[in-house]
Chains A and B, each alone.
Chain A
Amino acid sequence: MTRSQSPERKESPNRTPSRTGMRLIVPLQGVVQGRGGLILGSLIPCALFYFLQFYLKRHRSQPRQRSASAANLPDLQRSSSRANLLARGSTVRAHVSARASPVAKPNDSPYYIGLDRLREDPYDEAANPEGVIQLGLAENRLSLDIIEAWLSRNLTGSMLGVGSDALGLTRLAAYQPMDGLMAFKVAMADFMTEVMGRTVPFDPSRLVLTSGATPAVEILSFCLADQGNAFLVPAPYYPGFDRDIKWRAGVELIPVHCRHCDNFTLNKLALEQAFNQARKRGQKVRGILISNPSNPVGNILNRDMMYDLLDFAKTRNIHIISDEIFAGSTYGDEEFVSMAEIVDLEDIDKDRVHIIYGLSKDFSIPGFRVGAIYTYNENVLAAARKLTRFSSVSTPTQQLLISMLSDKQFTLDYIKINRQRLRMMYDLFVAGLRELGLECAKSSGGLYCWVNMSSLMSTYSDKRELELWDKLLNEAKINVTPGSACHCIEPGWFRFCFTTLSEKDIPVVIERIRRVVKSFKPSV
């Protein structure tokens, strides 16, 4: 640099630039030749090293955008972090904390916008036949009548507790365990054993009960990772994870993209790549979060993949969180295998495996708020137990459910009939979609199907996907979840939940979708 300039500068009266250059080059040369002495020999390389790190750090500010996807698609969810930056620079007196500002902003994810829209204009066959039909919330309304029937058959004083423990009302003398009454843990453990196929007995003492699976996921995040650390998560994934893991625990989610060609199953190579890229960026990965059966696709992890995951976690010394909340909602031919079964069989590395469960999906009672963390790790158990004070299950609800879940015949019948009904609805719905030329990914569980609507998009982009979603919501009046809300890397996929419908609603829904499909493809 200086050398090329020095011929010109030789003519200038000021000889300093060339001398400056020489002052720099000679010592460097000296250092290289080993003549610089200890101070120069260590100072200059240190200074260079420091400036290199500084440079790298500054250019590391948008890691996810560069490495997350090859297609370089804009990610909707990232707008929340942009909003955070805006909030910081805002001149308005900030009354909420910096970490609450992004949460305070109106929901910009289609997942939440759809739910809000539905709240304003919900479909009712009689009262509001033109309202928005809910296909965007994974709740199961197919089998509530079975539970209601049980209630009317079994309404004895025992639940309400005439003369005895009414709704847990007298259970006050002793300090109540925040992580659930033992009797309730026993009932939950038995139910889980049943639901997961009776292949592994669940131990009540490893259960920590919480008010829903949402706090269960958050509590695990707080226990397994520090703020700024990350979990790897196969994408597409349940949009709620962004809330559960990022908002307050401050743990990042690194998507490991799954593709249609693999039927959206986890690819080992992609997992390795994601982990290595995170490490290069300096992001500490503390665990992998899998959902099995998966949400939103509905596929089930096979045994081989589970062994691979365990190996992967072991070699990298990270945790596995297995969200098995849909374990009882399987309807396909594939066999569901719980992570607990694998760990139990092999007796390997139990300390790194943690399972999430709850009664919201399989037992259709999301309102009652019952979630569970099942872990083999004593330290996690101890910490999680203390954390449940912020999210405990209501005692009267526990009392009611102890009675319900202890009726083994009832739970067996319920699980069986529920599965049959799920299968029936799935078949009907998928057949209806097929008539319209829409195919679904192969799935065996969950309360939804993963539909490929890319044929309706003029270009293969997130923008077109959102336009299609908007059309479906505002013209067809159905609330579905677009793949981008689930961080799906391939545009055009939508999650349709069919368990909020009754059989007679299906033709109504299909007809509405047909209207939209026709507007794109008149031949249908």
Chain B
Amino acid sequence: MELVLRNQEQVLSKIATSDGHGENSAYFDGWKAYDSDPYNPVNNPDGVIQMGLSENQLSFDLVQEWVLSHPEASLCTPEGAREFKDIAIFQDYHGLQEFRNAVARFMERVRGNRAVFDPDRIVMSGGATGAQETLTFCLADPGDAILVPTPYYPGNDRDLTWRTRVCLFPVICDSSNGFKITREGVESAYYKAQDSNLRVKGLLINNPSNPLGTVLDRETLTECLRFTQDKNIHLICDEIYSATVFRQPGFVSIAEIMQENLSRCDPNLVHIVYSLSKDLGFPGFRVGILYSYNDAVVTTARKMSSFGLVSTQTQRLIASMLSDESFVEMFLQESTRRLGTRHRMMSKALAQVGIGSLRGNAGLYGWMDLRRLLKAPTFEAEMELWHVIIDDVKINVSPGASFHCSEPGWFRVCFANMDEETMVVALYRICKFVVHNKESPENVDRRKPCQRRSKLEISVSFRRLKDELLMTPRSAMVQVKE
């Protein structure tokens, strides 16, 4: 009976046919715009510039140089090929010991040697994406909830919920205190979730934060730890941007807080997710790391790592690279210096035209405040503004709504995924747009009903602006034409 009816239709699972992958969200419209019209300085100078991709392309030349000067690290060189047999056949899900040692050591270095990592607690996964998902499978059952402070990385919706069928419950943070996580906020979300009959299994924090670009301070981390311990729920710390901190205050890892409070807390509830994609700038390596203080989680996640093991060729390469102490030292310093410079360049340019951003000191992006450019303080207005930015300004930035931000008007703009020339072009476009479209400029005198007719036209020579952007801070000199 039913067979005849469904004969023509291939039946697929709910997961395959649902929207759980999140790619139908507005977040990806910008990507699509970029894909169909990508910027190229020579071939397509009017194309869309990608500023929605949080990747670190500022320092890959350092890695490339290392790889070329250390041929024995890669299997495809005479020096390295000798090891080919053993490496190619090794498929143990524990991973190469040297790889785990090197990663543990690297994580310690990034934290200024203030924390100790046990290589036997390091579990591989298919990128941080795989690590998040595996951890969720280990900690929560279908229908359970995990608290996540907003705004948060949209990928969490997919990574933590799509196949796991766990749900995310937001902890609302807003600009009144710089989007900081507060105990009250977390508690309120926890009880709200419980009222909705959700079983809360954990709290996921992102430190440094995506999209905010800030680090969590010691007090906040301690509060989060205390709260989760009190409620006997898990604390998952996504520290994927830990080596992108380019300015004070420095990075404090949950590992440090753990070490200080070891006697007072249950380590079984604390887990760290990491990856080399952002810090090293090589997402293609697919190196995801799950570090847990819980033995059962380590055992389980390790068995599940069969679903996302790191290629032994890559393990070998990473092990060699990260064991080179002098390279790591140089890399960490140089990478953060370059990030800091680029970030400064961006914030200065934006500040010149009155665009504020959240004072960030980490990450590969800035959290831009475009509230004043909104026609109304609504998400519809934000979406409208975003489409204008994509279609007219030809820049793909990410709207706050895609990060589940509670306030409209915030946008994440990535600065580390392009070269300097492209950055200059992008900033110029933004500045020009802002100046042309300011609804309420800083100068209160200009707030007249006939504002439109007396709108100033600021003409900035491209070369001038470029010089300004590239030099150290100095007040901008712009030619004003009426």
Contacts and interface: CB of A to CB of B under 8 A. Distances in A.
Interface of A: 93, 95-100, 103-104, 119, 139, 141, 144-145, 147-148, 151-152, 155, 159-160, 162, 166-173, 175-176, 211-212, 214-215, 218, 222-227, 229, 243, 247-249, 286, 315-317, 319, 351-352, 360, 364-369, 377, 379-380, 383, 386-387, 389-397, 400, 403
Contacts of A226: 13-15
B311 A171 contact: no
A397 B309 CA distance: 13
A280 B278 CA distance: 52
B138 A383 contact: no
Interface string B106-138: 000000000000000000001101100100011
B238 interface: no
A176 B57 CA distance: 14
A29 B306 CA distance: 64
Interface string B35-75: 10000000000000000010101001001100110010011
A396 B84 contact: no
| A243, A379, A390 interface centre (most CB from chain B within 10 Å) | A390
Given A100-B137, A317-B9, 9 more contacts: A93-B232, A160-B77, A170-B64, A172-B57, A175-B53, A367-B313, A387-B163, A391-B307, A400-B76
Contact of B308 (A159, A160, A390): A390
A248 B312 CA distance: 25
5 contacts: A160-B67, A223-B16, A367-B88, A396-B311, A397-B313
Contacts of B139: 95-97, 100
Q: Which of A152, A170, A222, A391 lies at the interface centre, i.e. has the most chain B CB atoms within 10 A of its CB?
A: A391
Given A97-B138, A222-B163, A214 B306 contact: yes
B303 interface: yes
Contacts of A249: 163
A152 B78 contact: yes
Given A151-B76, A169-B60, A99 B141 contact: yes
Interface stretch (B180-188, B280-288, B327-335, B430-438): B280-288
A393 B286 contact: yes
Given A93-B232, A222-B13, A379-B16, A148 B85 contact: yes
A250 B70 CA distance: 45
B3 interface: yes
Contact of B85 (A144, A368, A379): A144
Contact of B299 (A104, A366, A392): A104
B284 A394 contact: yes
Nearest to A240: B306
A98 B144 CA distance: 11
Q: List the 10 shortest-distance A-B pairs measured between CB atoms, nearest first.
A: A395-B284, A367-B312, A383-B16, A394-B311, A366-B91, A223-B16, A159-B76, A397-B311, A386-B21, A394-B314
A352 B137 CA distance: 29
Contacts of B462: none
Given A96-B139, A160-B76, A222 B294 contact: no
A390 to B, nearest CB: 5
B315 to A, nearest CB: 8
Contact of B307 (A215, A379, A380): A215
A97 B313 CA distance: 33
Contacts of A160: 67-68, 71, 74, 76-77
Contact of B67 (A96, A152, A169): A169
B3 A390 contact: no
B15 A400 contact: no
B405 interface: no
Interface of B: 3, 6-7, 9-17, 21, 23, 31, 35, 53, 55, 57, 60, 63-64, 67-68, 71, 74-78, 81, 84-85, 87-92, 126-127, 129-130, 133, 137-142, 144, 158-159, 163, 201, 232, 234, 268-269, 281-286, 294, 296-297, 299-300, 303-304, 306-314, 317
Contacts of A96: 138-139, 294, 296-297, 300
Given A95-B268, A166-B64, A351-B10, A248 B304 contact: yes
B16 A367 contact: no
A317 B75 CA distance: 47
Contact of B15 (A151, A222, A366): A222
B419 to A, nearest CB: 9
A453 B16 CA distance: 44
A224 B17 CA distance: 10
B23 A392 contact: no
Contacts of A104: 296-297, 299-300
Contacts of B63: 169
A395 B64 CA distance: 14
B84 A392 contact: no
A147 B77 contact: no
A167 B3 contact: no
Given A248-B163, A386-B23, A394-B284, A368 B11 contact: no
B309 A155 contact: no
A389 B127 contact: yes
Nearest to B3: A317
A211 B309 contact: yes
B55 A368 contact: no
A493 to B, nearest CB: 25
B356 to A, nearest CB: 30
B125 to A, nearest CB: 8
A364 to B, nearest CB: 7
B88 A396 contact: no
A218 B13 CA distance: 13
Contact of A368 (B88, B138, B307): B88
Contact of B126 (A248, A390, A395): A390
A334 B35 CA distance: 49
A229 B198 CA distance: 26
Contacts of B268: 95
A289 to B, nearest CB: 15
A464 to B, nearest CB: 30
B163 A364 contact: no
B15 A148 contact: no
Contacts of A152: 78, 81
Contacts of B314: 394, 396-397
B321 to A, nearest CB: 12
A134 to B, nearest CB: 11
Given A104-B299, A390-B126, A394-B286, A148 B84 contact: yes
A369 B3 contact: no
A119 B158 CA distance: 37
A361 B283 CA distance: 27
Contacts of A366: 88-91
A352 B10 CA distance: 7
Contact of B138 (A100, A391, A403): A100
Contacts of A383: 12, 15-17, 21
Contacts of B75: 151, 400
B89 A367 contact: yes
A169 B282 contact: yes
A390 B306 CA distance: 11
A148 B87 CA distance: 11
Nearest to A350: B10
A168 B284 CA distance: 8
Contacts of A215: 126, 306-308
Contacts of A139: 89, 91
Nearest to B166: A97
Contacts of A352: 10
B86 to A, nearest CB: 9
B13 A223 contact: yes
A286 B296 CA distance: 33
Contacts of B12: 223-224, 379-380, 383
Given A147-B88, A169-B64, A248 B76 contact: no
Nearest to B313: A397
A243 to B, nearest CB: 7
A243 B137 contact: no
B127 A315 contact: no
Contacts of B142: 99, 227
